[in-house]
Structure 1
C-alpha cells in the first residue's frame, strides 16, 4: 500500500497523465470571467447533484433558455421551476436549492447576482459561505471555487471518492465531507484541479463501481480493490 504524502500524490498525478493525458482547464476563471458566470456555475452544479452529465446539460439548457435572468429564476413559481428542471431529478428539492442560493447571493451583494465577492476571500472562508446555503454541500462549493475562481479546493464526486478509497488516499469508512477535508490537506494546491479531473476520468474508464477494469498500469501500482 502506498504511503501517501505530497510527493506520492505528484507521482500518482504523473502516472494518470501518462495513461489519460493532461487535464487542461477550459475557459476563463476568477476576475477574467464574465459577470454572472459564477452564479451560473453554482446553479448548474446544484442541478448536477446525483445525476448524469447529459441530464445536467439538458436541465441547465432548459433553465437558462426559459428564464431571461437570475431574478426571473428566483421569482419563478416553484412548480414551474421544478418542471423546467425535472430532467435533472429531484426537481422540487433542486428548485428550492436554486432559489435559496439566488436569494443568498442577492442578499449578500445588496441586489446583484454575482459571486465576485468570493474571489477576495480565502478559500476556507469562501467555502464556508457557500456551504452555509442549505443544499450546497462541500462538493458543490468546491466545484464553484475551483472551476470558476481557480481556488485550491478539491471537489469530490462519486468517482473521486471511489478511486481515492480504492487507492488508499483516504479510509474506506470516511464520509464524503471527510474525504473533502482529507484530500484538501493531502493534495498540493496546484494539483487539485487536474487530479480531480484525472480521477474522474480514471473512475469512468477503468475504476468503475462495478466490474472495474484493473488491467492498466495505474491500478496495478495503486489499487487495492477486489478486481485487482
Structure 2
C-alpha cells in the first residue's frame, strides 16, 4: 500500500492518469441529462441496487427484468406475498433477504411521502441527511445509499464496491484496515465532489482490467505511479 499522503491535488492527478490510461467518463451519456425528471426512477434505482448486492451484473439484469415484468408498479411489489417475491427474484441470489429489503424500503418510502413511491424528497436534503435516511432502512448499507444518491441525484457520495475498495486500499487512498463504512467516509472526504462519479467509474475499470484481486497486471503507468501491492513489487 502506498504511504504517500493523499490530498485533493493528488486525487486530481490520479483521475487524470486514469483518464489517460482509459478515457474520460461521460456521465450524461450513461445516466441521461436529468435522471430526476421521472419521480419513480430513484425508487427503481434503489430496488435495482438492492438486487445487485453480492451478485453479477447479468443476474441483476435478469432479476430486475423478472421483477418489473411480473408486477405492474411499486405498490404491487410491496404488497406481494413474500414467498412469491422471493421466487421472482431468486436469480439475484440471497432472494429471501433481498425480498424483505425491497419491501421494507418501499414501505419506508410510502410512509415518508404519505403514499407516493418517490425519493424526490431526498434531493432537497443535505447529503449526510439523505444518506442517513436511506441507511436507516435495514439492509440498505452505505454502498447502496451512495449509488442512489450519486447516480440518481448527483450528490457527492462515493459508492465503494469491491473494485473501488481493493484499488483504493492498494493505492493508499483508504487505510488497509478500514471497514467498508470507513472507506466510504475516507473517499467522500478526500475526493473533490465533481470527481466522485468519474473516479468511481475509473477505479472500477482499473480494478477489472488491471488491478484485479489475483494475478493483477501492473504493467501500466497508473500502477507504476500509485501502487506498490504484491503484484507491483
Question: TM exceeds 0.5?
Answer: yes
Cα deviation for residue 112 of structure 1 reads 0.1
For the residue of structure 1 that corresponds to 2:31, the secondary structure is coil
Cα deviation for residue 133 of structure 1 reads 0.2
C-alpha distance in structure 2 between counterparts of 1:51 and 1:31, whole Å = 25
Counterpart among 10, 15, 19 of residue 13 in structure 1: 15
Counterpart among 74, 77, 97 of residue 73 in structure 1: 77
For the residue of structure 2 that corresponds to 1:43, the secondary structure is helix
Alignment of 1:72-221 (within 5 A): 72-221=76-225
Deviations 1:104-135 (A, max 9, x none): 00000000000000000010000000000000
Q: TM-score, normalising length from structure 1?
A: 0.98
Instruction: Answer yes or no: is the 8 Å Cα contact 2:31–2:151 preserved in 1.
Output: no
Q: TM-score, normalising length from structure 2?
A: 0.96
For the residue of structure 2 that corresponds to 1:150, the secondary structure is coil
C-alpha distance in structure 2 between counterparts of 1:44 and 1:79, whole Å = 19
2:14 aligned with 1:24: no
Deviations 1:41-97 (A, max 9, x none): 000000011111111111111111110000000001111101111111000000000
For the residue of structure 2 that corresponds to 1:227, the secondary structure is coil
Deviations 1:125-173 (A, max 9, x none): 0000000000000000000000000111111000000000000111111
Q: Structure 2 vs 1, CA of residues 31 and 55 (structure 1 numbering), >3 Å: closer, same or farther?
A: closer
CA RMSD of aligned residues (A): 1.1
Cα deviation for residue 22 of structure 1 reads 1.0
Instruction: Answer yes or no: is the 8 Å Cα contact 2:149–2:157 preserved in 1.
Output: yes
Following TM superposition, the consecutive aligned residue runs of length 4 or more in structure 1 with deviations greater than 3 angstroms are: 28-32
Instruction: Answer yes or no: is the 8 Å Cα contact 1:29–1:147 preserved in 2.
Output: no
Q: Name the stretch that deviates more: 30-39 or 171-180.
A: 30-39
Aligned length: 228
Cα deviation for residue 33 of structure 1 reads 2.5
Q: Structure 2 vs 1, CA of residues 29 and 85 (structure 1 numbering), >3 Å: closer, same or farther?
A: farther
In structure 2, runs of 5+ residues without a counterpart are none
What is the match of residue 56 of structure 2? 52
Instruction: Answer yes or no: is the 8 Å Cα contact 1:167–1:223 preserved in 2.
Output: yes
C-alpha distance in structure 1 between counterparts of 2:199 and 2:93, whole Å = 28
Q: Structure 2 vs 1, CA of residues 122 and 30 (structure 1 numbering), >3 Å: closer, same or farther?
A: farther
